[in-house]
Chain A
């Protein structure tokens, strides 16, 4: 497969631009796991993260022709992911669940099951990071797990770099509290 040279760092643009499926396949291979992880940082639910993955790449597929490389692929794809995750929290369905208090026990057990997964298949510290409020855990995970810089996180989350720094600082402080609580219990 031929590759056009002089394209920005992450971007490989197949010569056959009309072959959108191949492009999509490449993008899923290249960014799929990161998209899934980012969605998980937001939602803490494997199935929901898988749903978001599908939605993200369907949108990528539908908009491939319109992507003008004003940003890198990963910024574009991550932004779609963030927007879809935010949409989920704003969705009527999510509000209904919360406001109607549908099956509190059910949602509690669902959260507990997810936590059980995180502890069993990851570890306690990872699970504690995910226990942080969303506004802190997402930047923290992107920075310390995905190795993204402050400016990249600011770009993806559409917030200022200062804001990212503040969230990282507060997130670290809160994590320290959670870790010391865990150590005291042991």
Chain B
């Protein structure tokens, strides 16, 4: 304990040096924390987003990921009916995504349309008004950006048109619909003007409804532990579609953002190296400056272990204080960096790259604390092997 107290006191002897070192360690710790958050945050945030409504499986056209291309599956109703008969399936619903148009004043505005089965949907949450109901072919739900674009609210009517034909300068199909509610589409990017209708209405607006097309089928399993087995069974049962669990989609997404993951490893490692170098350099020079003092202490009977403890305590105290400051700084810079990265075009607005969690903060702090403490080993070794007589003689002259 005596060594630790000396160690802490010696930090106070050089306030400017200690303050600068703390600032350096804090910046390095902040960077390390941000990179730890980035490396795990991408997976965590995407997984949370996929499972927000509890649908663990997505069925898409063969070889595609949800809404990655304009590909669609035919005979969607048959597939959904078969899925709903499966004893392991709690809910299943088809979704068709397509570009369509709405009349606003004397012009057409472009929207993104979702055809959904309201009784089994995992794409939105109602924020105002009410949800669509099964068979509600006269209703529509709007996102806030779509409502702004169309200048419509709950109870108003909007006219959607689809299949524009440039040859005759007319739309092949049009539909006047009543706004039932305002919704937040979970996977929409910022300011994406999206609308939703029941599936048959959207199929009619996009293509010939006889083909019964869907872009995606969402499946909710009765139990999470049954998901892998259910996915395997569905793959065998429906070879023409791609079956992906949330975990598998996370893997695909991780591959797309592999650059950021690797960057986080590299920058995190560099931050750690900078922090270690700073602590080691500072302590080494501090020990060299205090060799006379250390020799005196040893001469009057202070043990070698106490001297080593003093140097290690200095390193640990510096690291702990720097890490505490760094965590605060890291949380601020993470928000700034997250604001930059989440402005990627097309990225869901609810997605986050930097996810602060207790586990992440603890991990970064422990890694820094351990390596920072280890950085004191070399100067502690220097202090321990200082020749007492020679040092005292040199000091006296």
| Co-complex (A, B) | no
Give the A-binding residues of B (Cβ under 8 A).
none
Give the B-binding residues of A (Cβ under 8 A).
none
